[in-house]
Copies of this chain bind each other. A is one copy, B any other.
């Protein structure tokens, strides 16, 4: 048991230590960093955190974080509204946006089906996805979930739910990373990438 010199100091360390990837030592460093900082800036930091829960809103169409009711991706008329990319969370939207390769819209599930963590389909934004498929304006739904047990389960669940609607379901390509070396690739990825081989012209054309 580490004893800290002040209650508030200890509380602050404990709060930081609840953040992902942060243990007690890093939390201590962070709090000491804040104590050395300009007082006004630290107070502003606290204020920004306090504002988060009430002021961050989610786009009512794609469930991405947004400043307005409909986010600036969904409201952008230059984007192809007939393609939807289904992702787990906001982080994935940001990652895909950064590739600048995708011009369709998104649908953020807000998680993946994970019985271990007690997350079932009802806690995810699945109803609204089915509604979009029903409405008929969407032609293709791209599944861009992690290749984990939970990700695959979620894709399978969605596939079954969406199968009766006239929409093409696709999945982002799995395989060896660009620049990745064969010998360091895990067996499952390597095995799947052989099974899912594509004609050589296909690669060139892309």
- Contact of A91 with B52 at beta-carbon distance under 8 Å, contacts A64-B5, A65-B6 already known: no
- A1-37 contacts to B, CB under 8 A, are 2-9, 11-12, 15, 19-22, 26, 28-35, 37
Measured as residues with beta carbon below 8 angstroms from the partner, the interface class of chain A is 35 or more
The answer to whether the Cβ of A53 comes within 8 Å of any Cβ in the partner chain is yes
Q: How far is the CB of A75 from chain B (nearest CB, A)?
A: 12
Q: Mark A27-49, 1 if CB is under 8 A from B, else 0.
A: 01111111101010011111111
- Contact of A52 with B12 at beta-carbon distance under 8 Å, contacts A26-B21, A33-B20, A91-B28 already known: yes
The answer to whether the Cβ of A112 comes within 8 Å of any Cβ in the partner chain is no
Chain B residues with Cβ below 8 Å from A56 are 6, 8-9, 35
Q: Provide the bound-state CA to CA distance between A4 and B72, in Å.
A: 11
Copies in the complex: 2
Asked if A20 and B29 sit within 8 Å, CB to CB, the answer is yes
Q: Which of the segments A93-101, A152-160, A183-191 contacts the partner chain? A: A93-101
Asked if A19 and B33 sit within 8 Å, CB to CB, the answer is yes
Which 10 A-B pairs have CB atoms at the shortest separation, nearest pair first? A46-B50, A46-B49, A39-B53, A5-B65, A6-B67, A46-B46, A15-B45, A19-B30, A42-B53, A43-B50
Q: Could you list 10 A-B pairs, sorted by A, with CB under 8 Å? A: A4-B94, A5-B73, A7-B67, A8-B51, A11-B48, A12-B48, A32-B91, A35-B65, A42-B49, A42-B53
